[in-house]
Structure 1
Amino acid sequence: MTVDVFDQQNKKIGRVDLPDRIFNVKWNPDLVHQVLLAQLANSRQRIAYTKGRGEVAGGGRKPWRQKGTGRARHGSIRSPLWKGGGVTFGPAKEKKFTKKINKKMNRSAIFNVLSRKLKDGELKIVDKFNVLNKTKEWQKVLKNFIDLGSSALIIPAVQNNIHQAVKNIKKTDAISPKSLNVHDLLKAKNIILEKEAVGEIEKHYKL
């Protein structure tokens, strides 16, 4: 498929052929949703954790003798029945949230999102990022493409390391063509793709 190419002032300067297998894929929401959930699960950290009665400190001695006190019998002050005792069926640190997604599914989901963004007018091809690695200059460029307060994801060619320049711009991020993922692509309202990066995406995600 052929689409327009723009300069940094958002003026049309030509056309470029995009590979159909990447930018003209039939939308598959179930696949995208599955890969997104897997990505979020794999980035989740186990924070909540409670100790069972065998992990709580103390309680080695029987609190009182078994009979003759008139009180209920107990074997340890670290029983879940006691204040400060172990927790029954609490969250365990051994629990894992990781989900496996094969490369083919992940690649297909990325192509789905890129195709959908292009179809919805949320992806633009820019001929060349001829700006210095300074935040102010990138702010000027972004004003030509997106509305104030709107989120943007910039995909430059591999040799253009612009991450430091855009990291302080609100709701804006940059990602390498070799590190594309469903979550970042979906999160951004606008995607600005450098023309040279198209070939790099095609080469990296080859069949």
Structure 2
Amino acid sequence: MPKVALYDMSGKQVGDIELNDNIFGAEVNKTVLHQVVVNYLANQRQGTQNTKTRAEVRGGGIKPWRQKGTGRARQGSIRSPQWVGGGVALGPKPRSYRYSLNKKVKRLALKSALSSKVLDNELLVLDALSMDAIKTKEFAKILSNLNVDSKALVVLPEKNEVVIKSASNIPGVTTTLVNTLNVYDILNHDKFIVTKDAIAKIEEVYA
């Protein structure tokens, strides 16, 4: 079982914590990680881009000149794709980019992402994370105590408005809950900060 240090909010090590080997000690599968990240980004796309075809562009109802005898190429409409101001021949239309992956693939990718954070020494476990009032400066001090000066994902066991709002104005810092944890967010942040209670919940759900 992988063992990591347990810190308090002052940055002092108060002990060690053993992590579940099936979740935090799994083999990192880069192929599955790539599949899940691509799926996540595709599902975020709105798919609202739209171009007008020649049927949708205003005008062009009359033939610009007669078919034969002018010496020019035959034309049927000034709204054909080759004309300036004409319709787009094969442009994008509104569509959904969503597709689904198997639950086993998603679960494997999450375990791989969590294990990669342990292997790269980017996992920080706190014994507790609580604040009395919404203060960005106080939360920034906690990060400074932990020597976090890069993008960080803070995982909470349950919703805590004080902590979430205190962290919301710090660039590069994102807060999330155990039940909304996703592979993209884990890999997109340099540090993975999680409370001891959140670790217990993650192990309970994914073990």
| TM more than 0.5 | yes
Deviation readout 1:66-100 (Å, 9 max, x if unpaired): 34555433221211122211122223334x43332
Larger mean CA deviation between 29-38 and 80-89 belongs to 80-89
Percentage of pairs with the same residue: 43
Residue segments in structure 2 that go unaligned for 5+ positions in a row: none
Matches within 5 A, 1:49-128: 49-94=50-95, 96-128=96-128
Residue segments in structure 1 that go unaligned for 5+ positions in a row: none
TM-superposed deviation, 1:23: 0.9
TM value normalised by structure 1: 0.88
TM-superposed deviation, 1:119: 2.0
Counterpart amino acid of residue 22 in structure 2: R
Q: Which residue number in structure 1 is paired with residue 36 of structure 2?
A: 35
Return closer, same or farther for 1:9/1:71 CA change in 2, 3 Å cut-off: same
Q: State whether structure 2 residue 175 is matched by structure 1 residue 174.
A: yes
Contact 2:152 2:172 in 1 (8 A): yes
Distance in 2 (alpha carbons) for counterparts of 1:130 and 1:83: 62
Q: SS at the partner of 1:175?
A: strand
Counterpart amino acid of residue 75 in structure 1: G
Q: Which residue number in structure 2 is paired with residue 146 of structure 1?
A: 147
Distance in 2 (alpha carbons) for counterparts of 1:45 and 1:181: 19
TM-superposed deviation, 1:48: 4.3
Q: State whether structure 2 residue 191 is matched by structure 1 residue 190.
A: yes
Q: SS at the partner of 2:85?
A: coil
Q: SS at the partner of 1:40?
A: helix
Distance in 2 (alpha carbons) for counterparts of 1:79 and 1:143: 62
Counterpart amino acid of residue 86 in structure 2: G
Distance in 2 (alpha carbons) for counterparts of 1:143 and 1:47: 42
Q: Which residue number in structure 1 is paired with residue 165 of structure 2?
A: 164
Counterpart amino acid of residue 99 in structure 2: K
Matches within 5 A, 1:14-25: 14-25=15-26
TM value normalised by structure 2: 0.88
Q: Which residue number in structure 2 is paired with residue 200 of structure 1?
A: 201
Counterpart amino acid of residue 126 in structure 1: L
Contact 1:32 1:113 in 2 (8 A): yes
Contact 1:146 1:190 in 2 (8 A): no
TM-superposed deviation, 1:173: 1.0
Distance in 1 (alpha carbons) for counterparts of 2:74 and 2:159: 72
Contact 1:146 1:152 in 2 (8 A): no
Aligned pair count reads 204
Larger mean CA deviation between 44-53 and 76-85 belongs to 44-53
Q: SS at the partner of 1:154?
A: strand
